[in-house]
């Protein structure tokens, strides 16, 4: 296998228990190089445990994994040299300035003085921290602290980056800023493995998503593939007159009418093509519709369905 086609992360049958509590019950993962992979799961699903195992901080009880081509058990040093980890809880030292935190990381990576200076300056600029570089990290906002944390991870020039809930607690603007940084990193060829509880984040960023629950991968695929697994997509037609509803009910055999509300629920994925076909049909039959709304399953539906909770939410299009 060539280096380019080699997966960045490959795990088979990972198992981990704490005492008699089984946390990981046979996890398989495959993350292509240069992609963004999101691990989604509710609190306690085992996301951090997976990150800790893949980053050699924790030993697995069973299964095997390779990161950047190196076996976790037999080549842990090579794995560590290839990765960067931004943990769920910040590694930033509050007593030091932003610049000092970065310099500390540079020393840990045994960079020479010139290289340390160069890289520290470059990262402070890239992460919009140059102005605050000389201030203690204790004075940083949550967003600045997250950026510094990620900048510290990049000091070692990692090939594979683990981000454990990188945007938890950030406001929408800071979150978007971090997403932009993550996209830039991937454009530069690195692989991102992130955990998140924000479905929107996985939807925005990830090429592939794995949903874990009770120690197992319960679904895997692109956001679009996952959404397709969840039934319930439909188009809701609102009529102004019972005659319209009756006519439409005859035309759309699989639809469910509500004669009191004068609405018709037509199963469909909400794609432009489906909508156009539906509107054309109504037009041909000269059926007048007052209002139309589209319900598409989103990742929330996927998540809640797959992890055993349920909720009805609706997306309205005009
Ligand atoms: N060192 C440990 N000792 C005992 N139990 C642990 C340990 N680490 C994790 N656990 C348990 O393993 C389970 C999974 O924890 P983990 O931190 O991996 O979940 P998570 O998906 O990251 O959750 P969160 O979304 O809250 O960060 C939890 O029930 C947790 O209590
Ligand atoms: Mg966690």
Spatial contact of 235 and 208, defined as CB atoms under 8 Å apart:
no
- The DSSP letter of residue 102 is H
What pLDDT is recorded for position 4?
56
CB atoms < 10 A from the CB of 20, how many? 5
d(CA 180, CA 186) in angstroms, rounded, equals: 10
pLDDT per residue over 89-136, tens digit each? 888 999 999 999 999 999 998 999 999 999 999 999 999 999 999 999
Assess if residue 41 is contained within a domain: yes
Q: Atom 24 (ligand 1): residue with closest C-alpha? A: 43
Tell me, yes or no, whether 72 and 151 share the same domain. yes
Is 239 inside any structural domain?
Answer: yes
CA of 44 to the centre of ligand 1 (A): 5
What is the Rg, in whole angstroms, of the alpha carbon atoms belonging to the chain?
A: 25
Residues 14 and 156 in one domain: yes
Q: Let me know: does 16 contact 61? Beta carbons within 8 Å.
A: yes
* Number of the ligand 1 atom closest to the C-alpha atom of 58: 1
In this structure, the answer to whether residues 267 and 144 fall within a common structural domain is no
Domain identity same for 239 and 262: yes
Other CB atoms closer than 10 Å to residue 38's CB: what's the count? 26
SS (H, E, C) 42-81: CCCCCHHHHHHHHCCCCCCCEEEEEECCEECCCCHHHHHH
Atom of ligand 1 nearest to the CA of 45: 21
- Whose alpha carbon is nearest atom 18 of ligand 1? 46
Which sign, positive or negative, has the C-alpha torsion 63, 68, 69, 72?
negative
284 and 160 in a common domain? no
Residue 126 lies in a domain: no
Beta carbons within 10 angstroms of residue 110's beta carbon:
9
> Do 254 and 266 fall within a single domain?
yes
Lowest mean pLDDT among 46-60, 109-123, 297-311: 297-311
Is-contact 104 93, C-beta < 8 A? yes
Which residues' Cβ are closer than 6 Å to ligand 1?
Answer: 18, 23, 41, 43-49, 88, 197
Q: How confident is the model at residue 295 (pLDDT cuts 50, 70, 90)?
A: confident
Question: Of all protein residues, whose CA lies closest to atom 2 belonging to ligand 1?
Answer: 18
Number of domains observed in the structure of the chain: 2
Does the pLDDT at position 288 exceed 60? Answer: yes
Per-chain residues with Cβ under 5 A from ion ligand 2: 47-48, 88
Whether residue 311 lies inside any domain: the answer is no
Is residue 219 within 8 A of residue 302, CB to CB? The reply is yes
Please report where in the chains the tokens 């609190």 appear, as a residue.
43
CA dihedral sign, ordered 311, 296, 317, 263: negative
18 and 88 in a single domain? The answer is: yes
Query: What are 169-178's pLDDT values in tens digits?
Result: 888 888 898 8
- Report the CATH number at residue 280: 3.30.70
167 domain residue, yes or no: yes
The answer to whether residue 23 scores a pLDDT higher than 80 is yes
Q: Give strand pairing partners of 264.
A: 237, 257
194 lies in the same domain as 274: no
> How far does the centroid of ligand 1 lie from the alpha carbon of residue 4, in Å?
34
Strand, coil or helix: 129: coil
Whether residue 316 has pLDDT greater than 50 = no
**Gap from CA of 288 to ligand 2 centroid (Å):** 52
Question: Is 200 domain-assigned?
Answer: yes
15 lies in the same domain as 163: yes
What's the CATH code of the domain at 190?
Answer: 3.40.50.300
Considering the domain architecture, whether residues 86 and 161 belong to the same structural domain is answered as yes
Q: What is the pLDDT of residues 169-227, one digit of tens each?
A: 888 888 898 899 999 999 999 999 999 888 788 989 999 999 998 899 998 999 888 87
DSSP string, 197-235: S-HHHHHHH-SEEEEEETTEEEEEE-HHHHHHTS---EE
Return the ligand 1 atom nearest residue 197 CA: 25
Q: Is residue 29 assigned to a domain?
A: yes
**Ligand whose nearest atom lies closest to the CA of 42:** 1
Domain boundary among the residues 209, 228, 247 is at 228
Per the structure, the complete domain to which residue 211 belongs is given by 7-92+140-228
Domain membership of residue 304 (yes or no) is: no
CB-CB contact of 289 with 281 (8 Å): no
Instruction: Locate the ligand 1 atom nearest the alpha carbon of residue 52 and give its number.
Output: 18
The domain boundary, picked from 228, 259, 278, lies at 228
CA angle 55, 60, 63 (to 5 degrees): 105
Same domain for 200 and 145, yes or no, is yes
Q: Are residues 72 and 172 in the same domain?
A: yes
Which of residues 211, 228, 245 is at a domain's end? Answer: 228
pLDDT exceeds cutoff 60 at 299: yes
């Amino acid at each position: 296998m060539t280096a380019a086609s080699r997966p960045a992360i490959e795990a088979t049958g990972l198992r981990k228990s704490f005492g008699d509590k089984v946390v990981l019950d046979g996890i398989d993962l495959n993350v292509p190089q240069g992609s963004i992979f999101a691990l989604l799961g509710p609190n306690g699903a085992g996301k951090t445990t997976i990150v800790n195992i893949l980053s050699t901080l924790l030993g697995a009880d069973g299964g095997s994994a390779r990161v950047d081509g190196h076996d976790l058990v037999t080549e842990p040093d090579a794995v560590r040299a290839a990765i960067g980890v931004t943990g769920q809880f910040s590694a930033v030292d509050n007593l030091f300035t932003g610049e000092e935190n970065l310099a500390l990381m540079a020393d840990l990576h045994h960079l020479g003085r010139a290289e340390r200076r160069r890289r520290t300056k470059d990262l402070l600029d890239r992460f919009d921290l140059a102005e605050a570089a000389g201030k203690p990290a204790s004075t940083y906002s949550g967003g600045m602290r997250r950026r510094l944390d990620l900048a510290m991870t990049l000091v070692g020039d990692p090939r594979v980056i683990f981000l454990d809930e990188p945007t938890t607690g950030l406001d929408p603007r800071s979150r978007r800023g971090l997403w932009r940084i993550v996209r830039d990193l991937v454009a530069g060829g690195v692989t991102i493995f992130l955990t998140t509880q924000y479905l929107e984040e996985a939807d925005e960023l990830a090429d592939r998503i794995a949903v874990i629950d009770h120690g197992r991968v319960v679904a895997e695929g692109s956001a679009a593939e996952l959404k397709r697994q969840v039934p319930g997509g439909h188009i809701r037609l609102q009529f102004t007159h019972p005659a319209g509803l009756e006519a439409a009910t005859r035309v759309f055999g699989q639809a469910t009418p509500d004669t009191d509300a004068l609405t018709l629920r037509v199963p469909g994925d909400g794609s432009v093509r489906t909508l156009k076909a539906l509107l054309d049909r109504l037009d041909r039959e000269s059926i007048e519709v007052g209002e139309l709304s589209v319900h598409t399953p989103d990742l929330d539906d996927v998540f809640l369905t797959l992890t055993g909770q349920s909720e009805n939410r609706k997306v309205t299009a005009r």
